[in-house]
Each structure stands twice: as structure tokens, then as C-alpha cells.
Amino acid sequence: MRDLTRLKSLQALEASARHGSFVGAAAELDVTPPAVGQLVRSLEDWVGYPLFRRRRSGAERLTPVDEAEDALNDIAEGLDRLETGLRKLRGRKARSVVVVTASQALVANWLLARLDDFSTNYPTIDVRLDVSDRVIDLAQGEADIGIRCGLGAWKGVKSTFLMSEEIIAVCHNRLLKADREVTAGWIVEQTLIHDGTPHPGGNFPTWAEWLAKSGANQVPAERGLKINSTAAVIQAAVAARGVALVRKALVAQELDSGRLVHLLPDVRWPVKWAYYIVAAPKALRRYEVAAFHDWLASRPR
């Protein structure tokens, strides 16, 4: 065992040989192609001769040299066995639990619709949702991992960008009139739903600001429905109580179903707040937390 070294390079070599390219190997190993190339070239330096014949085009870019073919069988077998061993180690724990925290709005409107996919991919990991609109202290272990909306620079946790956000105007399709075009003027006449939750540094617009940008001639009246819960704002819109300014990500499902309608889609208002996956470094050492993190990070939005 003393002489076993460059394990990562062996892994990169074997994957590259199987794929016939560094790009293919990189996709499998979830790294960039230059990383794979460097690992293989490092091993070539070590052994003192090229391990692949290179071609600059064609489907098969890398062909193992004859000298390496026999060794590749051993390496592949060895990696298989290691993977089997690691799987057995993991499999000995029947089930594990990952505690996930997110706001009410995000859970209800975004995360719940996606959790089935996680459970399908990881049947032995149970997800426990901790729904809270306050900031859960992940560094203290109150939860394992979470999704937060904000500027991203939280202390003591690792933040991975998930998706950006913009503010849009929406209303229930029931409020639309077939003989009345949706204009800024029309919107001003509706009951406007105001989201009163704090979002420091996020440059979220008020109704006045948004309407000014949309070209409205009138200033909105100081009436309307004021709610200090993002989730409830969305519920009010869904309940046809009026027109709401909401975060686009949180109403994606309602827009897809047609229940809510995106008004004046040409009016864009990107905000500085975005969604991040957040977890304490200590928690990420656990397989189930890392698995949830990686699953989230690699999913379409």
C-alpha cells in the first residue's frame, strides 16, 4: 500500500479512457475538462510516457496506448471495488435525515413541487422541512441546510447561488376583462396588494416605483391591501383579491397553470436579492446533506 499514489489521477485516467475524451470524463466526474486533462498529464509525467494517443478532432479524441490497456483493466476493477465498498459503508445506515429550512412562500410555491424528485433519487434519505420566515441559525445546527433569499453574504455558512429573482405584477385570470386591454392605467384602478416584508438592500419596488417604470400617468392611491407576509401576498393574489407585486420564482407554478397572469411582461425589475443554498461546512461533511445540496444545485430552476 505504500506505493499507491495519485488516486485522483487514476480515476481521471480510467474515465477518460472509457469516454475517449476529457470532456466526457469531466461530465461524469462533475469537474471541468482542463481539470481532467491536468490529472492525466500529471500521471503521464509520473510514469514517464504518454498514456493516450491524442487526436484533435473526431468522436474519439483519446485512445489508450497499447502499454496502458492491461493496467486500465486493473484500475477499472479497483475503482469498481472501491465504489462497492463505499456503497456498502453508506448502505449500513438504513436511513438518514436531512433537515431543510426555507420560508413559507418558497416551500409552498417552489420546493414542495420538487421534493418528489429528490426522494426518487435518494430513497434512503428522509427530508424534514423546517418552515420558518425567521433566519434559522445553520451554524448552530438548528437545521442542516436551507434556501435563503438575500444578498448571499451570510457569515458562518457556505452559500451556493441557486437562482436570481425579479419582481413582477400578477393577478388572477378572473380579474381580466375580455374587452379591456391590460395597461398601466388599468392596473392603477385595481386593488393593489402591497408586500410589507423587509428586504434590505434588495431594491424591491413599491407600487409607485413599479408603475412609474411601466409608464403610468397616475400615481396609485394610498389604499390597497397591505400584508406583511410574502406567502400571504401570493395567496391574496391567487384568491383574486387584487393585483400583486411578487417574486417571479414564487409564482412560477401559478403562472404555468394559468391561474395567475403576468401583467405587462415587458416591464422588468430585477432585484439584487437572489436565492442561495446555505449550509454550515460541518453539516456538508455528511453524505445526506451534501447529496441534498448537490441535487438542488444541479436541478433546473
Partner DNA sequence: CCGAAAAGAAAGAAAATCTTTGTCGTGAGC
Partner DNA sequence: GCTCACGACAAAGATTTTCTTTCTTTTCGG
Instruction: For Cα atoms 35, 39, 40, give the angle at the middle one, nearest 5 degrees.
Output: 120
Q: Which does 79 bind (CB under 5 to 8 A by kind): its own copies, DNA, none?
A: its own copies
In angstroms, what is the minimal distance from the CB of 94 to its own copies? 10
| Residues 127-186, interacting with its own copies (CB under 8 A) | none
Pair type for strands 62-64 and 52-54: antiparallel
Q: Residue from 47, 175, 232, 255 that binds its own copies (CB under 8 A)?
A: 47
Q: Which does 46 bind (CB under 5 to 8 A by kind): DNA, its own copies, none?
A: its own copies
Q: Which is nearer to DNA, 8 or 199 (CB)?
A: 8
Q: Which does 57 bind (CB under 5 to 8 A by kind): its own copies, DNA, none?
A: DNA
In angstroms, what is the minimal distance from the CB of 202 to DNA? 23
Q: Residue from 6, 199, 213, 286 that binds DNA (CB under 7 A)?
A: 6
In angstroms, what is the minimal distance from the CB of 37 to its own copies? 15
Letters for 272-301 (x = contact with its own copies by CB under 8 A, - = none) are -------------xxxx-x-----------
259: contact with DNA by CB under 7 A: no
| Residues 141-160, interacting with DNA (CB under 7 A) | 158
Q: Which does 21 bind (CB under 5 to 8 A by kind): DNA, its own copies, none?
A: DNA
293: contact with DNA by CB under 7 A: no
Q: Which is nearer to DNA, 62 or 193 (CB)?
A: 62
Q: Which is nearer to its own copies, 2 or 177 (CB)?
A: 2
Q: Which does 35 bind (CB under 5 to 8 A by kind): its own copies, DNA, none?
A: DNA
Instruction: Please count the CA atoms within 13 angstroms of the CA of 208 that sit on its side-chain side.
Output: 5
54: contact with DNA by CB under 7 A: yes
Q: How far apart are the first and last CA of the chain?
A: 45
233 vs 126: CA distance, rounded Å: 30
87: contact with its own copies by CB under 8 A: yes
Instruction: Please count the CA atoms within 13 angstroms of the CA of 193 that sit on its side-chain side.
Output: 25
Q: Which does 194 bind (CB under 5 to 8 A by kind): DNA, its own copies, none?
A: none
Closest C-alpha among 221, 217, 167, 212 to residue 189: 221
Q: Residue from 56, 155, 180, 223 that binds DNA (CB under 7 A)?
A: 56
Contacts to DNA by CB under 7 A: 6-9, 12, 21-23, 26, 29, 31-35, 37-42, 54-58, 61-62, 158
Contacts to its own copies by CB under 8 A: 1-8, 10-11, 14-15, 28-30, 42-43, 45-49, 51, 67-68, 70-75, 77-90, 92-93, 96, 285-288, 290
